[in-house]
Structure 1
Amino acid sequence: MAQEVSTAHSPSAPGEPRNRRTVLVAIGALLLGMLLAALDQTIVATALPTIVSELGGMDHLSWVVTAYLLASTAATPLWGKLGDQYGRKKLFQAAIVIFLLGSALCGIAQNMPQLIAFRALQGLGGGGLIVLSMAIVGDIVAPRERGRYQGLFGAVFGATSVLGPLLGGFFTEHLSWRWVFYINLPIGVVALLVVAAVLHIPARATRHTIDYLGTFLIASVATCFVLVASLGGTTWAWGSAQIIALAVLGAVLLVAFVAVERRAAEPVLPLKLFRIRTFSLVAVISFVIGFAMFGAMTYLPTFLQVVQGVSPTMSGVHMLPMVLGMLVTSTASGQIVSRTGRWKVFPVAGTAVTALGLVLLHQLKESSSTWQMSATFFVFGAGLGLVMQVLVIVVQNAVSYEDLGVATSGATFFRSIGASFGVAVFGTIFTNRLEDKLADALAGQQVPPGAGASELAADPRAIAELPPPLRPSVLHAYATSITDVFLYAVPVVLVAFLVSWFLREDKLRGSVTAPEPSQTLASNPVERSSHDEVARALSVLGSREGRRHIYERITARAGYDLLPVSSWLLLRIGRHGMVEPARLAETTPVPLRAVTEAAREIEGRGLARREGLDLLLTDRGAEVTARLSQAREESLAELLGDWWGPDRPTDLIQLVRELTSELCGSDAERPRTPEPRGDHERPAAEYPHRH
């Protein structure tokens, strides 16, 4: 900790000039950590049929996915707050080590219970990798740059959605399913070494009262109910003492959780959020979307490999239309909402299209063509994408500033819990129907030894040993068992469709913009503070500040008739003290002709004077620049809507001032000699360095 504290006043501290190469290398290491955790949410699905064939336990297949989801979801709030309290670098390294240990153990697992336990350990580390990598960006990158770098993390999530099924199938087919886990080891070791060498961040002074009990209770509640959904009707009868005991225990723990959260200083899930109608409705919709998405993604590879007879690698290729539909509509809906401010149509349409997609999935047969399957997968993915992006925007818009961070992670939390339930429930329905249908298909038939209904259900590879006349009926049993699962999910999604009609379409704040895909594609909640959420949103808006109409608005607000590019040039001179126009044109996207025109105007009006090749502000120019800067700050504040009220918090005021100052310049225009902390508050005449 001493090293991390000592960097608080070094050039590595946030907001001060940093070596760009060092930042990029550190970001690369963070991206590797994010890649590991994100990949393991999707890479296992295409390997599951092979894993089950080797280890047995088709009735526990869902828990290979569920264990990871539950552990990563429960751990996320703890990782976030412990990182604030004890320094994120060491916590990030610990998360990598835990994840790699879990991966290695998963690779050597000899039976299904071992694999499930090791997947939970892997998920514990994976939750830390996602939340800490996102938070560390805020430690090493200035607010106006965060939108750019956090966009890279979104790209990683998008890429893993595509690469996960492909890589899982490739490793399973050409190496072994165990390489699905072993591949994490070399990547993780590289990330660990790079983080140790180049990541230097200050320790956080933020102190938290961590809600350990609340975290334990909510994880226990989810586990109990998921166990009921997973084991009921399969391992134990629905009316058995074990299932009833689990259900009662879950209910008791839920009551205890509510009681604990009422008194917790910093509750893991503040109950006051449920008094906000929009949050409660979004929680229901998020739960259902997670239920449908991960339930389908887990069992579609089984349909493709067992029923359609495609290879594990090709099953990943067949899944791409679903991922493509999700990415296209998710991106498009987020952008449309950010531009128009209208959003209610998307959750309504998205849940309807998702329900339609499930109906189409139910229609698939062993004889379905590739084109039919691709179109069906695309429709299903498009429906999910229409909803996912918008739910985060809606929640952010509905809560007060102080609850922004926890409400954002809360929406994803419910989707993650829904995902756990979906995988478990889909698995129960599939397992229950499979043995019955296989028994019916084999009734009265001459079956070879070791190829009974229970053996075929436990090991799909046994189908290849059946006599040719028996295979069609067995494949049909497998096909209908899986596709019936999708039909059972339709009523659940229709509940979300009905709930979405009750959402109230409040006007969006200007700062509520489309979040990066890490918040919408991830299965576990990415917890950040309210300050971090607003910094991300305003940095995205700030990255568009170079557009002409923004400067027109700032100039008009300040009451001047300057060219927009002249206002832009004055703000840069005010930021750095003096600017060389020719060099400025080389280091910014503004062409030399426009910069020259602006320089002539501000010189002609007496707002700037020449000193060699540089432009400096006159006294009159300094006054105009101060007014322009104030107009810019007011424009940013206006985007915050009612968050910028009389009782606005100090950190929000500081953030707006910091962004206003930083948006007046770029890294390429910084002084050659690093500015001391606080220089942006000094008068222009005190800047001695050339630009």
Structure 2
Amino acid sequence: MSTTQTLHPGEPAKMSHRQVMQSLTGLLMGMFVSILAGTVVASSLPIIVSDLGGSQTSYTWVVTATLLATTISTPIWGKLADLVDRKLLLQLSLAIFVIASAIAGFSQDTNMLITMRVLQGLGGGGMAALSQVVMADIISPRERGKYMGLFGAIMAVGTVAGPLIGGFITDTINWRWNFFVALPIAVVAIWLIQRTLHLPELAKRKVKIDYFGIILLSAGVSLLLIWVSMAGTNFEWASPTTAWMVGGAVLALIAFVVVEIRASEPLINLGLFKNATFTLAVIASLSVGVTMFGTSVFLSQYMIMARGATATSAGLMTLPMMAGVLVISTIAGAMISRFGKWKAFVVAGSIMQTIGLFALGTIHYDTNYLLLSAYMFLLGSGVGMVMQNMVLVVQNAVPQKELGVASSAVTFFRSLGGTVGVAALGSILALRIPEMLAERKEEMGAALAQLGAAGKDVGQALASGTMPAMNQLPESIRQIIESVYGDAVAQVFAIAAPLGFLTILAVAFLPNLPLSRMTRTERSKVEEAAATVGSGPGELPAAGGSAAGATAETTLPADELESAPGR
């Protein structure tokens, strides 16, 4: 059993870099495992869905199911992190994730696979939310930049390694082993978290879970996303089904807002939206989510369906984007910690992200790979500079008693943007591919006719709506399919690109607050001192302005108070 570090008033714990890294070892490994288990199927997914007899809609939902569950569960995990043992929650979320991954390996159809991906998302939401909260427990915002860069690097390595490992396993063994590969590492990660992660004790208080908020948020978001992904294919956009699904989602979300306003322990504290930093970071995170998840999902599909790549080579071909995330997020994080300046990096990243999206909107199935690599690296660099730092600036700007909720809320809206983006863009792709194939009906008919009797079987297989196995198609048919998929995926990127302007505007107007050098525990003590002399929520007395302020000032350097919320 690990020991718990208890912090006493006037004795803030200052951890050395070695102590911090020791505490983060298990957490970093857990993050790597969850990312690896989530991305290992990325390059193999077209092959997996085809093998299980799924369609383009099934392909989209295999991805969307995980994102949806992650989105819904993230604020729940974040709220629990403010109430109960964070280390236990971390271990629980990681266990849920990897067990669901293992069961997914036995899937017999896409329905079973989608169900297990939902459970993966529940565990992944915990890892995403809790890792940010744990970092804030032991590292100050000023120092957190370089560790955020480290987390970004771990995410990038996991994102890069996953498709490569998965592609190799699929090409040499069987795609089912993709879901088993992370199990041994997960067991080690859970053990390391127990042995090495030492967190300050939470103040004892009565735990109240906002069950109504959980139900209403889940119902509202789920209905909305199911409608987005199915409208236009399973039913018309303007139809009675659309009316009841959208109407039900809106009513559920309105009821959620009412419940949150009245709840004593709200799932998402709506009062946080009064904080300009939080509100703008949420807006930026929504659009970044579309970019991050949408591009990674459809780039792998583009490589296999439009460029004829194998699962392994598809993973290799998306390396430039992941390299951009890995290299630039690490460099930016280190520079933010060194100089204490963050805004220029975030604004520059949002501009690079937008340019990269517009560039990917111009590609075709035969675009020069070096040019394509430059586009992907530019996009990855932009995402790497923006994504992690949105959480950092919010943690630096909100009252520390709300840190878990605020951190998970930013992650929630990023996941929500990704979920809506993948569902909506996937729905557009599912519509455009049949339309573009219909536009080339004569060319396709001529190619099928040249195949003689075999052409009839190929034509029936294509008409079934299932995703074709590209390596089994005749050359003449494959070229048409590759061209259609290449142009269709490019249109998806072109549609997503204008959202980049929303990211630029949001981060440009973020208040440029200096980064505090205090950990969560230290800042909480100062905020408590401020509360005793009647300061507003999240505000601190001016240095030397009161007895309580003087006490805080003698414990913590005065210059560090300047970056606290409300300053």
- TM-score, normalization by structure 2: 0.80
Distance 2:201 2:346 in 1: 40
Q: CA deviation at 1:342?
A: 5.6
Change (3 A) 1:466 1:161: closer
Distance 1:23 1:373 in 2: 39
Instruction: Report 1:395-544 matches (<5 A).
Output: 395-443=394-442, 444-445=445-446, 447=448, 448-452=455-459, 455=462, 458-501=465-508, 503-504=509-510, 506-511=511-516, 530-531=520-521
Distance 1:187 1:424 in 2: 31
In structure 1, the residue matched to 2:564 is 643
Instruction: Report 1:4-153 matches (<5 A).
Output: 28-55=25-52, 56-82=54-80, 85-132=83-130, 153=151
Q: CA deviation at 1:338?
A: 5.1
Residue identity opposite 1:52 in structure 2:
V
Residues 70 and 219 of structure 1 are in contact (CA less than 8 Å); yes or no, is this contact kept in structure 2? Answer: no
Change (3 A) 1:155 1:187: same
Residue identity opposite 1:641 in structure 2:
E
Change (3 A) 1:419 1:454: farther
In structure 2, the residue matched to 1:163 is 161
Change (3 A) 1:70 1:88: same
Residues 58 and 457 of structure 1 are in contact (CA less than 8 Å); yes or no, is this contact kept in structure 2? Answer: no
Q: CA deviation at 1:280?
A: 2.2
Distance 2:27 2:462 in 1: 45
Change (3 A) 1:451 1:7: same
Distance 1:27 1:391 in 2: 21
Structure 2 stretches of 5 or more lacking a match? 449-454, 526-550
**Per-residue Cα deviation, 1:428-468 (whole angstroms, up to 9, x for no partner):** 11110111212332434353133338737845544444443
- Structure having the higher Rg: 1
Mean CA deviation greater in 54-63 or 450-459: 450-459
Q: CA deviation at 1:175?
A: 2.1
Q: CA deviation at 1:481?
A: 1.2
Residues 260 and 270 of structure 2 are in contact (CA less than 8 Å); yes or no, is this contact kept in structure 1? Answer: yes
Number of aligned residue pairs: 527
- Report 1 or 2 for greater relative contact order, CA contacts < 8 Å, sequence distance ≥ 6: 2
Distance 1:85 1:399 in 2: 17
Q: What SS does structure 2 have at the residue aligned with 1:236? A: coil
1:310 aligns with 2:309: yes
Distance 1:340 1:428 in 2: 44
Residues 392 and 408 of structure 1 are in contact (CA less than 8 Å); yes or no, is this contact kept in structure 2? Answer: yes
Q: CA deviation at 1:382?
A: 2.1
Change (3 A) 1:165 1:15: farther
Q: What SS does structure 2 have at the residue aligned with 1:470? A: helix
Q: What SS does structure 2 have at the residue aligned with 1:46? A: coil
In structure 2, the residue matched to 1:188 is 186
Residues 355 and 379 of structure 2 are in contact (CA less than 8 Å); yes or no, is this contact kept in structure 1? Answer: yes
Change (3 A) 1:328 1:633: farther
Distance 2:148 2:382 in 1: 25
Distance 2:286 2:194 in 1: 38
**Per-residue Cα deviation, 1:34-78 (whole angstroms, up to 9, x for no partner):** 222222343332121111211212212122222222222322343
In structure 1, the residue matched to 2:260 is 261
**Per-residue Cα deviation, 1:85-109 (whole angstroms, up to 9, x for no partner):** 5534544443343223211221111
Q: CA deviation at 1:32?
A: 3.3
Q: CA deviation at 1:412?
A: 2.3
Residues 214 and 268 of structure 1 are in contact (CA less than 8 Å); yes or no, is this contact kept in structure 2? Answer: yes
Change (3 A) 1:467 1:185: closer
Q: CA deviation at 1:126?
A: 2.5
Change (3 A) 1:344 1:364: same
**Per-residue Cα deviation, 1:196-223 (whole angstroms, up to 9, x for no partner):** 7787888755333222322332232222
Q: What SS does structure 1 have at the residue aligned with 2:475? A: coil
In structure 2, the residue matched to 1:375 is 374
Residues 57 and 112 of structure 1 are in contact (CA less than 8 Å); yes or no, is this contact kept in structure 2? Answer: no
Distance 1:53 1:338 in 2: 46
Distance 1:434 1:138 in 2: 46
Change (3 A) 1:225 1:179: same
Residue identity opposite 1:120 in structure 2:
V
Distance 2:244 2:502 in 1: 28
Residue identity opposite 1:73 in structure 2:
T
**Per-residue Cα deviation, 1:471-528 (whole angstroms, up to 9, x for no partner):** 3222211111111111111223233334445x15x44224179xxxxxxxxxxxxxxx
Q: What SS does structure 2 have at the residue aligned with 1:44? A: coil
Residue identity opposite 1:643 in structure 2:
A
Residues 637 and 644 of structure 1 are in contact (CA less than 8 Å); yes or no, is this contact kept in structure 2? Answer: no
Q: What SS does structure 2 have at the residue aligned with 1:449? A: helix
Residue identity opposite 2:307 in structure 1:
Q
Residues 341 and 508 of structure 1 are in contact (CA less than 8 Å); yes or no, is this contact kept in structure 2? Answer: no
Residues 229 and 426 of structure 2 are in contact (CA less than 8 Å); yes or no, is this contact kept in structure 1? Answer: yes
Q: CA deviation at 1:31?
A: 3.6
Q: CA deviation at 1:374?
A: 0.8
Distance 1:422 1:332 in 2: 28
Distance 2:292 2:148 in 1: 24
Residues 396 and 512 of structure 1 are in contact (CA less than 8 Å); yes or no, is this contact kept in structure 2? Answer: no
Residue identity opposite 2:476 in structure 1:
P
Distance 2:136 2:280 in 1: 31
Q: What SS does structure 2 have at the residue aligned with 1:178? A: helix
Change (3 A) 1:270 1:16: closer
Residues 401 and 524 of structure 2 are in contact (CA less than 8 Å); yes or no, is this contact kept in structure 1? Answer: no
1:248 aligns with 2:247: yes
Structure 1 stretches of 5 or more lacking a match? 514-528, 536-629, 649-691
Distance 1:429 1:215 in 2: 30
Instruction: Report 1:276-315 matches (<5 A).
Output: 276-315=275-314
In structure 2, the residue matched to 1:273 is 272
Change (3 A) 1:636 1:72: farther
Distance 1:496 1:197 in 2: 40
Change (3 A) 1:188 1:458: farther
Residue identity opposite 2:317 in structure 1:
H
Change (3 A) 1:359 1:454: farther
Distance 1:164 1:31 in 2: 16
Distance 1:631 1:212 in 2: 37
Residues 104 and 182 of structure 1 are in contact (CA less than 8 Å); yes or no, is this contact kept in structure 2? Answer: yes
- TM-score, normalization by structure 1: 0.67
Change (3 A) 1:348 1:8: closer
Distance 1:409 1:460 in 2: 36
Q: What SS does structure 1 have at the residue aligned with 2:267? A: coil
Distance 1:220 1:77 in 2: 14
Root mean square deviation of aligned Cα: 4.0
